[in-house]
Chains A and B, each alone.
Chain A
Amino acid sequence: MKIDATDVGFERLNAQLRASNDKECEITGCLGQRFIAAGEKDAHIILKGTPGNALAAYLNGATIEVFGNAQDAVGDTMNAGCVVIHGNIGDAAGYAMRGGTIYVKGNAGYRAGIHMKEYRDKVPRLVIGGTVGSFLGEYQAGGIIIVLGLTGDKQIVGNFPCTGMHGGKVLLRTGLKNIVLPKNVHAREIKVKGSEFEESIKTFCVLFGYNNEELLDSGYTLITPDTSNPYKQMYVQN
C-alpha cells in the first residue's frame, strides 16, 4: 500500500495504516505527523519526508524505515521490532525502550536511550552511527546503547553521559580519556570482535554501507553501572 501523507493529519494517517492488511507500506510526504506506526505489530513501513514526534511509539514487532531525519522520542516505550533511520534522530531517541532495535545512520540529539530497560530476553538496542548530545543513557536501567561517532569532527558524546545509569551497557567507539563520566559507573576499554556487540555493528554496516572490518577493529569503551558504588543520598540525607 502507498499513502501520500501530504496535508493528512496524524489521526487519519494512522487509521489508514491500521486498517490496512498489507505487509508492505510506503508513506510519502510525511511532515510532522506524530505517532506514526504506534503499536504496529508486523508490517514493513517505509517513510519518506519528515515524520513527527513519537514515531514508532509502543512499536510491537513491525519494521520502520525512514528515508530522512526523524524528530523527537522515536521508539518511545517500544516493545519489539526494528526502526532504521537513514538520517539524524532528534532528542530522547529510544525513550524508555524495552525491546527491539533502533539503527540511526547519523547523529542523535540529547538524552538518547533515556531510561531504556530490559527483562530476561527483552534487551533493547539503540545503535547510533554519528555523535550524540548530552545525557546519553540518562537513568538507563537496561539494554544496550552503541555510539560509533562516524560523522565529522564533533566529540562523540556531549556532557553528562550515563547520569543516573543503573543498568544496561553503553558502548562508545572512542578511548576512555575522551569521556567524562559520573562516579557511579564503571568504564573500561574493550575490543568488540567476538563480543555480544559484534552482530549489531555488522548489521549497522550492512544497513548503511560501512566497512565492518574497520569498525570492528576500532577501540571501544564499555560503560556499565558500578555496583560497588551505588546511588545513595543523591537527593536527601536518609
Chain B
Amino acid sequence: MLKEGEVRIPSGCAIAAVISKEGKRMTGEAIINSMKPMHDRSNGLGGGFAAYGIYPEYCEQYALHVFFDDKISRNECEIYFKDMFEVVNAEIIPTRTMPEITDEPLIYRYFVSPLQSVLRSMQLDEKEYVVRAVTHVNTYIKGAYVFSSGKNMGAFKAVGFPEDVGRFYKLDEYEAYSWTAHGRYPTNTPGWWGGAHPFGLLDYTVVHNGEISSYDANRRFIEMFGYRCNLQTDTEVITYIADYLIRRQGLTLEETASVIAAPFWSTIERKPKSEREKLTYLRTVFSSLLVTGPFSIVLAFDGGLMALNDRLKLRSMVVGEYEDKVYIASEEAAIRAMEPNVNNVYAPMGGEPVIVKVKGGQF
C-alpha cells in the first residue's frame, strides 16, 4: 500500500463525543444522532465510533477488533494470535446488511490475554506486549488490520457516512459510558476501512478533524520508538504520540496537550515563572511532537477523554454540559441533537485542553 503523502486526494471532518461523569452507560443512539446535522462535513468516505465500557463480561481481556482482506490474512493472523495470546473468545462483529455500506472486509473481534510464559520471556509489561503485537499485525501481516485493542472498549469504523456506519454496527445495541464519533472527509489520503477514525492503540482512541502539517516530522520521531505509521491517515500518529507521552513517558494529559499544541514562544514568555519553565521544557524536549496545522481532536481513554484544538484554533469545537454528561462536537447543532437542553455551550481556546474524567478519575 502507498503511505500517507504518496497519495493525495484534494478535498473538513466532523467530530463529536459524549461522556457520563457518573459512568452511567448509554446506547449509541445519541452519538449517531449527533452526526446527522453535520452530515455535510463528511463525504461518505469514512465514519466511525469509539465506545467505552461496552464489554463488561470481558473486561479483563484485550478486545482486538480486526479487519481482514480475506480468509488467508485471517488464518495467518489467527496463527500469530495463538502464539501470543490466550484467545478467550473470537467472533464476527455483528453488522447489518444495508445498501449504504458496501465492500466490507471480514470484521472480527478477539478477546485475548497475553500468554504469560511468552510475556515473561520477553520481559515486557503487558501493555507494551499488546502494542508490539498490534504493530506486528498491522506491519507484517498483509491484509490484516487491528483497529482497536483496549480493554472493555472498542472502535467501530467503516467507509460510509457516520450515521450509516453507526447503524451498520448496530451501535444502538451497545451501552457505553463514553462515546466518540467521527465523520470523514479525507484530505490527502484514500478513504478506506482502516483509514476511517477513530484510530486506536490500547485504550487510547483519537478522532480528528484537521490536517497535520507536521505529519512527517512527527512520524519520523515516533517511529524511532517502535511505532509504525502504516494506516495511510495522518491521525494515527496522534494516537501513537498520546500513547508515547502518557503511557511511556508518564506525562499528564495537560502536559501532553502542551506538547501537541504547544503555546507560541511569545505566549510562553508572558506566563509566570514556574509555568514558563515547564512549558519551555516540554517544547524543548518534545519539539518533534508539536502538531502543527489545523486540528480539533478528542482523545478518549479508559475512564475519560480530552478534547483539544490546535493553538491557532483553525477548526471549530464546542463543549456543553447537561446533568452528568459532557458533550463535545465540531458544531453546537451536533450537541443539541444529542441533548436539546444543554445551556452552557462554550468554545475552548486553541490549545486549551478540556479534560473529563469519570467520577473524578476514580472510575
A interface residues, Cβ below 8 angstroms from B: 10, 30-34, 49-50, 52-53, 69, 71-72, 88, 90-91, 107, 109-110, 133-135, 158-159, 180
Majority secondary structure of chain B interface residues (helix, strand, loop or mixed): loop
Which residues of chain B come closer than 8 Å to A33, judged between CB atoms?
37
Asked, given contacts A34-B40, A91-B316, whether A71 binds B332 with beta carbons under 8 Å apart, the answer is yes
Which residues of chain A come closer than 8 Å to B334, judged between CB atoms?
32
Which residues of chain B come closer than 8 Å to A32, judged between CB atoms?
37-38, 331-334, 337
Within 8 A of A (CB), among B237-274: 264, 267, 270
- Which among B133-141, B148-156, B344-352 touches the partner chain? B344-352
A-B pairs with beta carbons under 8 Å apart, 6 shown: A10-B40, A71-B331, A72-B316, A90-B316, A133-B350, A134-B349
Residue of A10, A30, A32, A49 ringed by the most chain B CB atoms within 10 A:
A32
Which residues of chain A come closer than 8 Å to B37, judged between CB atoms?
31-33, 52
In the complex, what's the smallest C-beta–C-beta distance from A158 to chain B, in angstroms?
Answer: 6
Asked, given contacts A34-B40, A52-B37, whether A110 binds B332 with beta carbons under 8 Å apart, the answer is no
Of the candidates A50, A133, A158, A159, which one forms a contact with B332 in the assembled complex, judged by CB atoms under 8 Å apart? A50
Q: Is the CB of B220 closer than 8 A to any CB of chain A?
A: no
Of the candidates A109, A158, A159, which one forms a contact with B316 in the assembled complex, judged by CB atoms under 8 Å apart? A109
B interface residues, Cβ below 8 angstroms from A: 37-38, 40, 264, 267, 270, 312-313, 316, 318, 331-334, 336-337, 345-347, 349-350
Asked, given contacts A52-B331, A69-B345, whether A31 binds B350 with beta carbons under 8 Å apart, the answer is no
Which residues of chain A come closer than 8 Å to B337, judged between CB atoms?
31-32
Of the candidates A10, A31, A135, which one forms a contact with B336 in the assembled complex, judged by CB atoms under 8 Å apart? A31
In the complex, what's the smallest C-beta–C-beta distance from B352 to chain A, in angstroms?
Answer: 10
Bound-complex Cα distance A158 to B270 (A): 13
Bound-complex Cα distance A212 to B182 (A): 46
Q: A71-B316, A135-B312, A158-B349 are in contact. List 16 more A-B contacts (CB 8 A).
A: A30-B333, A31-B336, A32-B332, A32-B333, A50-B333, A52-B333, A69-B345, A71-B332, A71-B333, A72-B331, A90-B332, A91-B316, A110-B312, A110-B350, A133-B350, A180-B270
In the complex, what's the smallest C-beta–C-beta distance from A127 to chain B, in angstroms?
Answer: 19
Bound-complex Cα distance A90 to B345 (A): 11
Of the candidates B38, B40, B347, B350, which one forms a contact with A90 in the assembled complex, judged by CB atoms under 8 Å apart? B347
Bound-complex Cα distance A49 to B341 (A): 11
Of the candidates B264, B331, B345, which one forms a contact with A53 in the assembled complex, judged by CB atoms under 8 Å apart? B331
Bound-complex Cα distance A107 to B349 (A): 13
Which residues of chain B come closer than 8 Å to A110, judged between CB atoms?
312-313, 347, 350
Bound-complex Cα distance A49 to B38 (A): 15
Q: Contact: B40 with A69, CB < 8 Å?
A: no
Asked, given contacts A69-B345, A109-B347, whether A134 binds B313 with beta carbons under 8 Å apart, the answer is yes
In the complex, what's the smallest C-beta–C-beta distance from A160 to chain B, in angstroms?
Answer: 8
Bound-complex Cα distance A94 to B129 (A): 52
Which residues of chain B come closer than 8 Å to A30, judged between CB atoms?
333
- Nearest 6 CB-CB pairings of A with B: A32-B333, A32-B37, A110-B313, A50-B333, A31-B333, A31-B37
